[in-house]
Amino acid sequence: MNNLIDSLVPDNIKTLKAYKPGKPIEALIKEHGINKAIKVASNENPLGSSPLALEAAARELKKLHIYPDGDSHDLKEVLSAHVGVSTDELIFGAGSDELIDLIVRTFCKPGQDQILTHKYAFISYKLSAQAHNVEFIETAVDEGYQVDLDALLEAITPKTRVIFLANPNNPTGQHIRRPDLERFLSRLPREVILVMDEAYYEYAIDSEGKEYPNSLTYRHETSHPLLITLRTFSKIYGLAGLRVGYAMADCAIVDYINRVRRPFNINRVAQAAAAASLQDSAHVEQSRVIAHQGTRTMVELMTSLGLKAYPSLTNFTLVDLGKPVDSIYRQLLNFGIVVRPLGPWGLPNHLRISVGTSEEIDSVIATLSKVLES
C-alpha cells in the first residue's frame, strides 16, 4: 500500500518537510510531569490579547451556527481607515502563512518561474515554493545576517516572479533601513512582484525614527505597482490563536488572489476580535514597550553569559551558542522552558527566544546559564 501511495505523490511533495511548530505548553507539562512551563518559542505577545478583542470575541460565540462574512466586510472597513488604503486593496488570510501560499499559487507557474529571497528568511517562503513546485533561490547575507540587497538584485533573472523580503526578518531579527530599501526599489524590475512581509511592523515602526520604512508608502511613490505588503494580528495584537493576517496591494492583485482564496477562511470570532483590537492603541503601545525592554534585557544578559545575542526591533532575540543546540534545547524542555532551535532554518548553533514577562525572562536566562554550565 505504501508503494502505491508513494507512486501517486509528486517528487516535490515527497521531499517536502512539514513545518514543525513550537511545542505547546500543554504537551510539555504532560510529557514531563511538571506543574508549570514557559513558552518563549513562537514570538507570542506575553501581554495577551486586548480586553476589547476578548469582549468582541465573546459576543460572537452565540453566533457560531452562522457562517462568517466571506469578505470580512466590517473588519475590512475598520482596517481600511486604520492603515489608509481602500477596501479593495485589502485581502485577509488565516495568518500571513496562508497569504504567502496564495501569492505563490496565484502568480507562479510550476516548473517555469522562480521565487527569490535570502538565506535564513522566514521558512514559509521555501515551504510554499516547494509545495507548488516553484524554483526557490536564496542569496547571501553578511556575518551579522543582514541581507545583501545587491546580491538579491544580481540574482534576478527573466524567470524571477516573486521576491519575498521580511522586514524585520524572522528568525534573525535583522531589518532593512529606509535608504537601502529605496535604493533597492529604484533598481527592481517593474515586472517582479515584491512581497514585503511586515509581521513585526508595529514593533519596529517607532524604533528607529525615520530609518525603518513603511513599505506602503512606496507602491505609488516608486511607480512600482507590484508591491504587496503583508501584516498580521498574530504578533503585537496578541491574536495568534485566531489566525488573521492581511495583505495590501493594488486592487488588481487583490482581485486575482481572491479568486484563489477559499471562502470563509477567516472565522467570525477572529474577524470581530481583530476589528476590536485596532481600537486599543494603549494595548499596542504597552506591548511595544514590553518587547523593546525585553529584547534589550535579553541581549544584555545573554552577552553577560558570553553568548552572541543579536539586537532586534521585534519581540524576539537570536542567540548564537557557538555549538549545536539540540541537546541544550532538550535540557531546557526538562526544566519546562520552550525555546526555538533553528536547525530547520540552517542555523544549527542558534536559538530564537521570544520576549516573555520580566519574570519569565529572568527564569529563562537563569536556566540557560545552569544548562550551559552543566
Q: Residues 334, 338, 342, 347: what is their CA dihedral angle, to the nearest 10 degrees? A: -60
Supply the pLDDT for residue 1.
66
Higher pLDDT, 289 or 206: 289
Classify residue 16: in a domain, yes or no: no
d(CA 315, CA 44): 8
pLDDT band at 13 (very low <50, low <70, confident <90, very high): confident
Residue 344 inside a domain? The answer is yes
Give the three cell numbers for residue 83: 492603515
In this prediction, residue 15 carries a pLDDT of 75
- Same-domain check for residues 223 and 96: yes
Tens digits of residue pLDDT in 84-137: 999 999 999 999 999 999 999 999 999 999 999 999 999 999 999 999 999 999
Q: Are 240 and 126 in a shared domain? A: yes
Are 119 and 265 in the same domain? yes
For residues 192 and 86, membership in a common domain is answered with yes
Distance of alpha carbon 269 from alpha carbon 244, whole angstroms: 10
pLDDT category at 223 given cuts 50, 70, 90 is low
- Position 289 pLDDT exceeds 80: yes
**Final residue in a domain of this structure, among 255, 277, 299:** 277
Helices (H), the chain: 2-8, 11-14, 25-32, 51-60, 73-83, 95-107, 123-131, 149-154, 178-187, 201-204, 218-221, 251-260, 268-277, 281-304, 326-334, 358-373
Give the burial class of 29: count Cβ atoms within 10 A of its Cβ; 0-12 exposed, 13-18 middle, 19 or more buried: middle
Residue 10 is predicted with a pLDDT of: 77
Q: Mean pLDDT lowest for which of 30-34, 181-185, 319-323?
A: 30-34
Domain co-membership, 272 together with 296: no
Rg (CA), the chain: 21
pLDDT recorded at residue 16: 74
Joined together, the cell numbers standing for residue 370 give 545552569
In-domain check, residue 191? yes
Whether residue 305 sits in one domain with residue 257: no
Sequence-separated (6 or more) residues with CB below 8 Å from residue 183: 149
Residues 211 and 318 in one domain: no
Dig out the grid coordinates for 81 from the structure. 481607515
Domains identified in the chain, total number:
2
In a domain, 15, yes or no: no
Lowest-confidence segment of 125-129, 209-213, 230-234 by average pLDDT: 209-213
Q: Model pTM?
A: 0.93
Look at residue 44 and tell me if it is in a domain: yes
**Using DSSP, how many helices (H) and how many strands (E) does the chain show?**
16, 13
Regarding whether 158 and 236 lie in a shared domain, the answer is: yes
Q: Which three cell numbers mark 238?
A: 496578541
**161 and 43, same structural domain?**
no
pLDDT-based confidence at 23, cuts 50/70/90? low
107 with 250, same domain? yes
Among 105-119, 211-225, 341-355, the least confident range? 211-225
Give the domain CATH number at 368.
3.90.1150.10
Which of 228, 245, 277 finishes a domain?
Answer: 277
CA distance 239 to 234: 5
- 148-176 tens-digit pLDDT: 999 999 999 999 999 999 999 999 999 99
Which residue, of 277, 308, 334, is where some domain finishes?
Answer: 277
Q: How far apart are CA 35 and CA 15, in angstroms?
A: 39
- pLDDT value for 87: 97
Residue 374 has pLDDT above 90, yes or no: no
Inform me whether the pLDDT recorded for 193 exceeds 80.
yes
Residue 60, SS3 per DSSP: helix
Tell me what pLDDT residue 210 has: 66
CATH number at residue 111: 3.40.640.10
Q: Tell me, yes or no, whether 248 and 292 share the same domain.
A: no
Is 3 inside a domain boundary? no
Question: In the predicted model, is pLDDT for residue 208 greater than 60?
Answer: no
CB distance 119 to 141 below 8 Å: yes
State the residue range of the domain holding 292.
22-48+282-373
The average pLDDT across 209-220 equals 84
Structural domain contains residue 138? yes
Mean pLDDT of 33-39: 79
- Residue 104 and residue 92: Cα distance in Å, rounded? 15
Those residues whose C-beta lies under 8 Å from the C-beta of residue 95, and which sit 6 or more positions away, are: 232, 234, 243, 244, 245
In a domain, 10, yes or no: no
For residues 75 and 144, state if they share a domain.
yes
